[in-house]
Structure 1
Amino acid sequence: MSAYEAHFRVWRGDQDGGGLKDFHVEVNDGEVVLDIVHRLQATQAPDLAVRWNCKAGKCGSCSAEVNGRPRLLCMTRMSVFERSETITITPLRAFPVVRDLVTDVSFNYTKAREVPSFVPPEGLGPGEYRMWQEDVGRSQEFRKCIECFLCQDTCHVVRDFEENKESFAGPRFLMRVAELDMHPLDAAAETGLDRKSTAQEEHGLGYCNITKCCTEVCPEQIKITDNALIPLKERAADRKYDPLVWLGNKIRRRGQ
């Protein structure tokens, strides 16, 4: 296929406001949207701000919205669009704009710090951990996360309700809680930390209504909803509402 000219609309502006600007730019075989953004910088808009790093779909830096869908610019091939289609690129809607396609994603780092880290088992030192692969298989999937925050951006709890951000960690960090809760060596419970309870009471698990929009945009194909959020909800509900668990807790407290 030969080169052709595509119509792009790119959001330009900052925290004080902005709007979509039209560009016509050359597209060549095999290119991705980030290639076109770089060509725009080189030929028509040298001050266009965009965040990127690896250009290989592994750093999560070039997150933006293409035709309204959260995507990685470096993993979105131009071949998925019709030649006659207008391609609109906008910044992640859930986070404050810094300039052009760059947003302030510090909300996510704040939430990351609120999740208590792995608690090593007492008596085991570095290099002494031993686990069966079948015991770590479920949570190992979540380690593929590149922290592009597309799941955070598309989650309507964060995207549509700014006031929820204080009490809701979002799918990426609820997945982190689920990962730690599934970890065969995490000794949080021995220190009095109930990860299932904190997921519900401190990280807003109850806000999630499992629409699976986070799973749909994940570039690593992590099944965030089915393999992390739903199982975490089930364990949190068992912990809170199962009568046998309630009775066991009552007996334990009485015996202390």
Structure 2
Amino acid sequence: MSQQAEFRIWRGEGGRGGFASYQVEVNEGEVVLDLVHRLQATQAPDLAVRWNCKAGKCGSCSAEVNGLPRLLCMTRMSTLPAGEPVVLTPLRAFPSVRDLVTDVSFNYAKAREVPAFVPPDGLAPGEYRMRQEDVQRSQEFRKCIECFLCQDTCHAVRDHEENHGAFAGPRFLMRVAELDMHPLDAAAETGLDRRATAQDVHGLGYCNITKCCTEVCPEHIRITDNALIPLKERVADRKYDPLVWLGSKIGLRRPGS
């Protein structure tokens, strides 16, 4: 059985604009993206929105629904308050392009700042061997679909534009943590200390582990508990533990170990 719902959608370009209201038919089982497509087909053909797979795997349709960062294709209408307007706005942390589309190039710039996996010397592809628990630990982080909802909800990115130069955000600190945990990553052999760069280059210290990134992750990755906190602990050990510091000075511990 269908019913009517009010949608209030931010319309505009370059950060200038306002809300437009629409009445739209809602059918059982539909998600917010279904309604956006219906509006495009019937009332607002020029409404700009990104989407691709409509299956929660491409991360394209990120926006804010009633103020919360969400994937439009994974937000069922039945989960939203009945009888209240559905408010759609673009991701607030990034510059507005048009309507629900934002410029997320900040994230790709930060991705390029993270040095890639360094293969172990003397092993050819196919000869790598890892313990199953190490595979499972890093596999969780590989589920990331780069929707950038965690980046959007992180207050150090969202509310402090002045941090953008020094802070990579949770998605890319998670990538650093994944590489630092990887038993075959040979970055240390090249002189790259991933823990030092996490703090000094990617701004790990800006994170105060509020877990807001974990709460909005559509893949249910425990970003804070399994990536950011362990990375902070290893950085603190390296920087402040006197025994670790002494061991590094006299050659008992190598960078990255």
In the superposition, the TM-score normalised over structure 2's length comes to 0.97
1:83 is displaced (CA, Å) by 2.9
Distance 1:252 1:75 in 2: 52
Distance 1:105 1:135 in 2: 31
- Partner SS, residue 10 of structure 1: strand
- For residue 24 of structure 1, what is the aligned residue in structure 2? 23
Code of the residue aligned with 2:155 in structure 1: it is H
- For residue 117 of structure 2, what is the aligned residue in structure 1? 118
Distance 1:109 1:220 in 2: 20
Distance 1:125 1:16 in 2: 50
Q: Percent identity?
A: 81
- For residue 41 of structure 2, what is the aligned residue in structure 1? 42
1:248 is displaced (CA, Å) by 1.1
Distance 1:30 1:123 in 2: 54
Contact 2:52 2:58 (C-alpha < 8 Å) held by counterparts? yes
1:184 is displaced (CA, Å) by 1.1
1:56 is displaced (CA, Å) by 0.1
Deviations 1:2-40, CA, capped at 9 Å, x for gaps: 100001100000105011111100000110000000000
Contact 2:15 2:97 (C-alpha < 8 Å) held by counterparts? no
Question: Which runs of at least 4 in structure 1 moved beyond 2 Å after TM superposition?
Answer: none
Contact 1:91 1:102 (C-alpha < 8 Å) held by counterparts? yes
- For residue 71 of structure 1, what is the aligned residue in structure 2? 70
- For residue 255 of structure 2, what is the aligned residue in structure 1? none
Go from structure 1 to structure 2 and tell me whether the alpha carbon gap of 1:152 and 1:130 turns closer, same or farther (over 3 Å shift).
same
Distance 1:23 1:46 in 2: 13
Contact 1:41 1:47 (C-alpha < 8 Å) held by counterparts? yes
Code of the residue aligned with 1:215 in structure 2: it is T
Distance 2:135 2:104 in 1: 30
- For residue 11 of structure 2, what is the aligned residue in structure 1? 12
Code of the residue aligned with 1:72 in structure 2: it is L
1:250 is displaced (CA, Å) by 1.5
Q: How does 1:180-219 map to 2 (within 5 A)?
A: 180-219=179-218
- Partner SS, residue 248 of structure 2: helix
- For residue 233 of structure 2, what is the aligned residue in structure 1? 234
Distance 1:132 1:229 in 2: 22
Contact 1:8 1:24 (C-alpha < 8 Å) held by counterparts? yes
Deviations 1:156-184, CA, capped at 9 Å, x for gaps: 00000001000000000000000000011
- For residue 108 of structure 1, what is the aligned residue in structure 2? 107
Contact 2:10 2:19 (C-alpha < 8 Å) held by counterparts? yes
Deviations 1:115-162, CA, capped at 9 Å, x for gaps: 000000000111111112112221210000000000000000000000
- Partner SS, residue 5 of structure 1: strand
Code of the residue aligned with 1:40 in structure 2: it is L
- Partner SS, residue 26 of structure 1: strand
In the superposition, the TM-score normalised over structure 1's length comes to 0.97
Distance 1:49 1:232 in 2: 39
- For residue 155 of structure 1, what is the aligned residue in structure 2? 154
Contact 1:11 1:89 (C-alpha < 8 Å) held by counterparts? yes
Q: Which runs of 5+ in 1 are unaligned?
A: none
Distance 1:157 1:20 in 2: 27
Code of the residue aligned with 2:159 in structure 1: it is D
Distance 2:171 2:119 in 1: 22
What do you get for the CA RMSD once the two structures are aligned? 0.9
How many pairs were matched up?
252
Distance 2:166 2:81 in 1: 41
Code of the residue aligned with 2:57 in structure 1: it is K
Contact 2:15 2:95 (C-alpha < 8 Å) held by counterparts? no
- Partner SS, residue 166 of structure 1: coil
Contact 1:136 1:184 (C-alpha < 8 Å) held by counterparts? no
Deviations 1:35-72, CA, capped at 9 Å, x for gaps: 00000000000000000000000000000000000000
- Partner SS, residue 79 of structure 1: helix
* Residue 50 of structure 2 corresponds to residue 51 of structure 1: yes
